């Protein structure tokens, strides 16, 4: 859950990516004891749709799962489900891509060839095969056991997207959870959609042009008309329970003799049996986006054992310079140049909270932007889409809202968000059942008085450090 707060307090979109390891390795070392049945009632509930525009597929992963961060040319994405009590991995689901020489073999004959290959190269002993149509394409289903120092039940479905190339869905886990895994796989396959990535790429170029147009006419005068003059607050909920909050303030200020937008965000995340996490962040950008700067201070835990992380960045002359300092570790520095092809559609992080206010919300439409990801030291493609107007309930009120979707990168899950008539965030629905929702100051002040006081100390500490430079 560490990344939830780091992203939620500074952007309108949260692609919640929970760190994981190789799924086979995790199941191998932490398989749940037989008969746990922790998730049997909600095993097949789906989460928000995941879309990979580069490869050309989308699907709805299971709810209550963790995203696996490690990917490769073969493994495109993955999720694990853990036991709620022991935190052991129950099973892992992943999406792979395979390429072979095109063959004239029938589907059933090709299945025999693949069965032999799986046994030889993957220790996957296939016990049954069948063929069907999945997402409008021919598919082969394999089920059996993966054998090594231990044994896992495994099901794979190979969906042919073109001659010699397949999208492969693979689920593995304790054999005692076979029925649950089978139900999950069936539900995920039913949600699978395939599309031509070339068509998606052409559409993306149009969206980038639309995004660049939305940013082109920014000025101090325009920013002054759309910023929120008062602080606004949000609660973060998990399964209906408040586990944290976010506070945002926006202003026009001057830095390095340049006038621009300044966004200060702070928040806390409190989970059972986990040290509380506090994060304070300040972001600045000029309206022409030629200069930006930010600083983030994050603290997990309290007292001498607290882990502190400070990240600072500045972008000038299209070079991003970043410094990271973590407790007990030497400082790290890195830099990255913003490619010329992305400069017109580049979105500084300070503008993320204002983004819906910059777009035409009167009609459906998609906008794409280039955003910097300091974790990868690279630039991602972010897509925001205006969907429709609808009425939602916030607290005791029915509110007219514009529903939008936000995808922080081409391989991130899609987040749903609702904004009011001014484009201010009302609610954000994130993967894993997380919801960020507008709240009044009093609710936050009462429930998180201690955390607000600690955040004030963080802010003062930041000021003292700057003053000493």
Per-residue confidence band for 6, with pLDDT thresholds at 50, 70 and 90? very low
Every domain of the chain with CATH number 3.40.1000.10 lies at 31-195
Contacts for 427 with CB less than 8 Å, ≥ 6 apart: 392, 394, 401, 417, 418, 435, 436, 437, 438
The arithmetic mean of pLDDT across residues 399-428, rounded, is 90
**Per-residue confidence (pLDDT) for residue 42, from 0 to 100:** 54
Q: Which CATH number fits domain 31-195: 3.30.1050.10, 3.40.1000.10, 3.40.47.10, 3.40.50.880?
A: 3.40.1000.10
Measured at the alpha carbon of residue 13, what is the angle toward residues 7 and 16, in degrees to the nearest 5? 55
pLDDT tens digits, 255-286: 988 999 999 999 998 887 788 889 999 999 99
pLDDT tens digits, 173-217: 999 999 999 999 999 999 999 999 888 889 889 999 999 999 998
Per-residue confidence band for 27, with pLDDT thresholds at 50, 70 and 90? very low
Q: Which letter does DSSP use for residue 101 in this model?
A: -
Contacts for 422 with CB less than 8 Å, ≥ 6 apart: 226, 357
Percent residues over pLDDT 70 in the chain: 87
Three-state DSSP at 452 gives: helix
Percent residues over pLDDT 90 in the chain: 60
Give me the chain's average pLDDT, please.
Answer: 85
The arithmetic mean of pLDDT across residues 296-319, rounded, is 88
**Per-residue confidence (pLDDT) for residue 38, from 0 to 100:** 39
pLDDT tens digits, 85-112: 888 899 999 999 999 889 889 999 999 9
Per-residue confidence band for 29, with pLDDT thresholds at 50, 70 and 90? very low
Nearest C-alpha neighbor of 414 from the set 400, 425, 428: 428
Per-residue confidence band for 408, with pLDDT thresholds at 50, 70 and 90? confident
Give 208-252 as a DSSP string: HHHHHHHHHT--HHHHHHHS-SS-EEEEEEETTEEEEEEEEEEEE
Token couple for 53: 């525009």
**Per-residue confidence (pLDDT) for residue 11, from 0 to 100:** 45
Between CA 313 and CA 220 the distance in angstroms is: 22
The arithmetic mean of pLDDT across residues 159-176, rounded, is 94
**Per-residue confidence (pLDDT) for residue 8, from 0 to 100:** 52
Q: What long-range pairs does 239-245 form, CB within 8 A, spacing at least 24?
A: 239/433, 242/447, 243/269, 243/270, 243/271, 244/4, 244/5, 244/268, 244/269, 244/270, 245/439, 245/444, 245/447, 245/448, 245/451
34 pLDDT above the threshold of 50: no
Between CA 209 and CA 321 the distance in angstroms is: 27
Q: Tell me, letter by letter, the H, E, C secondary structure of 39-82.
A: CHHHCCCECCCEEECCCCEEECCECCCEEECCCCCCEEEEEEEE
Per-residue confidence band for 49, with pLDDT thresholds at 50, 70 and 90? confident
141 pLDDT above the threshold of 70: yes
**Per-residue confidence (pLDDT) for residue 460, from 0 to 100:** 65
Q: Are strands 397-407 and 378-394 parallel, antiparallel or unpaired?
A: antiparallel
pLDDT tens digits, 339-394: 999 999 999 999 998 999 999 999 999 999 999 998 889 999 999 999 999 999 98
Compute the CA torsion angle 380, 381, 386, 387 (nearest 10 deg). -90
Radius of gyration in angstroms for the set of CA atoms belonging to the chain, rounded to a whole number: 24
Token couple for 384: 């925001």
168 pLDDT above the threshold of 60: yes
**Per-residue confidence (pLDDT) for residue 390, from 0 to 100:** 95
Between CA 52 and CA 68 the distance in angstroms is: 15
* Cα distances (Å, whole numbers) of residue 197 to 55, 133, 204, 276: 6, 21, 10, 42
Q: Which letter does DSSP use for residue 346 in this model?
A: B
Helix boundaries (H) for 265-366: 355-358
* DSSP H or E segment with residue 207: helix 197-216
Instruction: With beta carbons less than 8 A apart as the criterion, state whether 451 and 287 touch.
Output: no
22 pLDDT above the threshold of 60: no
**Per-residue confidence (pLDDT) for residue 204, from 0 to 100:** 87
């Amino acid at each position: 859950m560490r990344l939830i707060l780091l992203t939620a307090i500074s952007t309108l979109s949260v692609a919640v990516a929970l760190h994981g390891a190789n799924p086979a390795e995790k199941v191998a070392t932490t398989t749940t004891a037989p008969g746990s049945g922790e998730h049997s009632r909600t095993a097949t509930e789906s989460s928000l749709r995941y879309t990979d525009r580069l490869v050309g597929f989308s699907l709805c992963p299971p709810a209550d799962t963790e995203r696996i961060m490690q990917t490769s040319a073969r493994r495109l994405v993955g999720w694990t489900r853990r036991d709620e009590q022991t935190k052991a991995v129950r099973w892992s689901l992943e999406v792979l891509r395979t390429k072979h020489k095109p063959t004239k073999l029938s589907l059933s004959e090709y299945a025999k060839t693949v069965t032999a290959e799986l046994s030889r190269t993957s220790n996957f002993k296939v016990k049954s095969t069948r063929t069907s149509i999945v997402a409008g394409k021919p598919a082969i289903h394999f089920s059996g056991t993966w054998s090594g120092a231990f044994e896992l039940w495994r099901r794979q479905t190979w969906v042919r997207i073109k001659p010699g190339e397949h999208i492969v869905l693979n689920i593995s886990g304790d054999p005692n959870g076979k029925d649950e895994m089978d139900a999950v796989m069936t539900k995920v396959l039913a949600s699978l959609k395939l599309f031509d990535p070339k068509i998606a790429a052409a559409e993306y170029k149009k969206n980038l042009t639309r995004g660049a147009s939305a940013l082109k006419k920014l000025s101090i005068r325009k920013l002054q008309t759309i910023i929120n003059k008062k602080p606004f607050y949000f609660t973060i909920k998990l399964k209906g329970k408040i586990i944290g909050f976010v506070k945002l303030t926006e202003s026009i200020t001057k830095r390095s003799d340049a006038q621009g937008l300044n966004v200060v965000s702070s928040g806390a995340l409190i989970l059972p049996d986990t040290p509380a996490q506090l994060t304070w962040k300040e972001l600045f950008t000029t309206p022409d986006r030629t200069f930006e700067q930010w600083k983030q201070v994050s603290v997990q835990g309290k007292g001498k054992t607290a882990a502190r992380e400070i990240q600072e960045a500045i972008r000038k002359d299209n070079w991003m310079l970043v410094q990271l300092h973590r407790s007990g570790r030497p400082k790290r520095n890195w830099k990255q140049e913003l490619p010329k092809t992305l400069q017109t559609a580049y979105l500084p992080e300070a503008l993320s909270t204002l983004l819906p206010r910059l777009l035409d919300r009167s009609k459906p439409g998609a906008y794409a932007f280039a955003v910097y990801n300091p974790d990868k030291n690279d630039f991602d493609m972010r897509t925001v889409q205006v969907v429709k107007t609808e009425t939602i309930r916030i607290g005791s009120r029915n509110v007219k809202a514009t529903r939008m979707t936000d995808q922080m990168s081409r391989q991130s899950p899609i987040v749903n968000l609702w904004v009011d008539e001014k484009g201010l965030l009302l609610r954000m629905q994130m993967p894993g059942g997380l919801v960020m929702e507008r709240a009044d100051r009093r609710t936050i002040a009462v429930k998180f008085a201690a955390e607000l006081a600690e955040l004030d100390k963080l802010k003062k500490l930041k000021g003292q450090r700057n003053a000493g430079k």
